[in-house]
Chain A
């Protein structure tokens, strides 16, 4: 239904495609097929079941709702008077970040689909038509996504600033999408030219992670920005402004609505038009090169150098009791570092746990001085870094290559308890410890050496909490042995929320003991003993 509408709309643009010497009928056919496939994406579990076509609603359409919510972030900016260059540049800066990261994370699969190579390029079709189908495919989604994103701001805009402002905004945002799409593609062309396909996949993975961290942290920053930024600031054109694309799109508003015809505004405004056009032209020129380099994604003959194992070997021998535990420690460390889907689901939360402890301190600083902060007990915010432990421990049972777990079943593993203890240790040492150390160092700078015993308590609590999370959520035999889709089982989500309360509980106990003289040390000893004993019990060897 949605794809029919998109294709109908596209039919209106037919003459445009004909000018570019594109076989429109063929392109439409390819798009129609691609859109049908998209509607069927994701739930792999039901793959064999073609009969329930009615349930085939496009996952993407559902995700549009989230973008409508994201759009709310733009609304406050609309209330900041008529200092357009500032206001619009900020709006376009945020839009550009969100749209571009979404483009990379959600539509790279379309741009980089190597099946096209064998299926489409071997057929009697002009390669220009195939490229056009590809970019149009992305464009359809980008325009829907952008439409969702600006829907709420658009309504507000019409009410506050009127129709002229709105129309100008519409034109500017279309230019922005064009610019983003082609710039992203050009970026891929560049990366594929000089790096391997695997590197590109890694880069995309990190952009996806950046997107999820960026949005949450971005909200925090924007919410605070209004307290810092002076909106009556008078703008002076500087030469470096031409390198900031969001400013290109802010300038036309000044130029047309505020009748600011200074040279700077003229230059920036013209860039708003020239920039997208030039990038489209570059894209058109370089597309064949891109298709050729896509070949790299098909065969990766890249040789990875064996890395120095010294560090890992050291950790293994320090913390693991037997050979099997060591094996699983090593195996889990590798999976955690390499599996893209795991990283995508887990690394953003690592980012949050690094940032959240400080967000609350910033709040505190709004009312107090730094001196007061360093004498306060705000160091307890470090407990926020423990929030994610439950989630990650839950994730440890999933993998996109879950089927490979048959090797655990057919091999004669003696100490089954060592499997998960090795995995949990790998998590603590490889993911949690670096984070914890980083936070601790900063916290020691802020709060001085006096909090050292408290930090020790936090570390041991984290280990105990990992164990509890494992007991509550996981308790399975083999790590990385379940399919990711089953993550959404409501039970485990509930449980992982409950585990956050457990963290709160730990915090309260800690707080209680910190009020008693030497209580902290007492608590440290109690905690240490409890943790050691419970670890022994949970992973007892038969």
Chain B
């Protein structure tokens, strides 16, 4: 693994009003890593991504991407980043071709080059027949593929993925996993944020667990397993986030469901 530092967060803190979201995060990421970025809802995962993408500016601490501080470097660092947002936001009045070309151009690509590349990539997903169809008619899985293509079109070095497998069928999931692995082999860095622990466990070569705005665990899956004496990432996750009451909660829940106070 080459040791080029792609991303570095130093004392990163962020709060909305009085509510602290990120608390003194320190993280260095090197080229060729797939980071499984996990944590319970509201732990600050999306906020971290948004800060690195320049969507949020009022943080404290330093964020360095590709060795430059993004607070002072201007926007050009974004050229090397690809991003799949969590809730499949895209301009769905456009056709897949129009959308992908537009995004390519936004990343500074040549129009015809972006169009050709988009077409080729769509073909690989067997979607060439819907290239000129509006995205609004696409299924959730198709949209997700379009989003994925749009994030990779410009050959980025650092890729942020927020629940990228949302709505994809089992076969597509396998393809995407393989794509990610090969991208990393090419020296790309992937920041993978998800709630599906099985996938994170398999894909990532490093796992960072966020809890209440702080890094609660950081290491390979093997390391985490040794430290926590648990078999799967899911149970490690439960242990670290202090959630050991799932049995009791489930029992209570079912008890309330089956409680016989339903009157006809």
Contacts and interface: CB of A to CB of B under 8 A. Distances in A.
Verify that A and B bind, or say they do not.
yes
A341 B136 CA distance: 21
Nearest to B111: A29
A30 B94 CA distance: 13
B172 interface: no
B56 A295 contact: yes
Given A36-B94, A37-B94, A123 B137 contact: no
Contacts of A488: none
A295 B59 CA distance: 14
Given A36-B94, A119-B91, A124 B102 contact: no
B55 A295 contact: yes
B234 interface: no
A4 to B, nearest CB: 16
A37 B92 CA distance: 9
A26 B106 contact: yes
A115 interface: yes
A40 interface: yes
A124 B106 CA distance: 7
A40 B135 CA distance: 12
Interface string A291-303: 0100100000000
A48 B134 CA distance: 6
A2 interface: no
A48 B78 CA distance: 33
Interface string A12-42: 0000000000000010011001001100110
A126 interface: yes
B85 A126 contact: no
B113 to A, nearest CB: 15
Interface in A447-461: none
Interface string B70-107: 00001111110101010001110111001000110111
Contacts of B107: 123-124
A185 to B, nearest CB: 20
User: Size band of the B side of the interface?
Assistant: 20 to 34
A50 B79 contact: no
B54 interface: yes
A120 interface: yes
Nearest to A294: B55
A119 B105 CA distance: 12
B154 to A, nearest CB: 9
B53 A122 contact: yes
A295 B77 CA distance: 22
> Most chain-A Cβ atoms within 10 A of its Cβ — which of B54, B81, B90, B106?
B106
B93 A121 contact: no
Nearest to B136: A47
A30 B90 CA distance: 14
A118 interface: yes
B178 interface: no
Nearest to A117: B55
A125 interface: yes
B94 A123 contact: no
A30 B99 CA distance: 11
B105 A292 contact: no
A164 B220 CA distance: 78
B110 interface: no
A30 B81 CA distance: 20
A151 interface: no
B55 A123 contact: no
A120 B56 CA distance: 14
A197 to B, nearest CB: 14
B78 A118 contact: no
A41 to B, nearest CB: 7
B37 to A, nearest CB: 17
A122 B56 contact: no
Nearest to A288: B57
Contact of B98 (A30, A33, A118): A33
A205 interface: no
Contacts of B90: 115, 119
B93 A125 contact: no
A123 to B, nearest CB: 4
Contact of B89 (A44, A119, A124, A125): A119
B140 to A, nearest CB: 15
A33 B102 contact: yes
A50 B99 CA distance: 14
A136 interface: no
B132 interface: yes
A127 interface: yes
Contacts of A114: 89
B89 A115 contact: yes
Contacts of A292: 56-58
Interface string A111-148: 00011011111111111000000000000000000000
B96 to A, nearest CB: 10
Contacts of B98: 33, 36
A127 B89 contact: no
B108 interface: yes
A407 B16 CA distance: 37
Given A36-B94, A47-B136, A50-B95, A124 B53 contact: no
B93 A124 contact: no
B133 interface: yes
A121 B54 contact: yes
Nearest to A48: B137
Contacts of B95: 50
B43 to A, nearest CB: 15
Contacts of B77: 124
Nearest to B77: A124
A124 B134 contact: no
Interface string B15-58: 00000000000000000000000000000000000000111111
Interface of A: 26, 29-30, 33, 36-37, 40-41, 44, 47-48, 50, 114-115, 117-127, 292, 295
18 contacts: A26-B106, A37-B91, A40-B93, A41-B93, A48-B136, A48-B137, A50-B95, A120-B106, A121-B53, A122-B78, A122-B85, A123-B106, A123-B107, A124-B108, A125-B75, A126-B75, A292-B56, A295-B55
Task: Give the 9 A-B residue pairs with the shortest CB-CB distance, closest first.
Answer: A48-B137, A124-B78, A123-B106, A124-B79, A37-B93, A47-B136, A118-B85, A40-B93, A122-B53
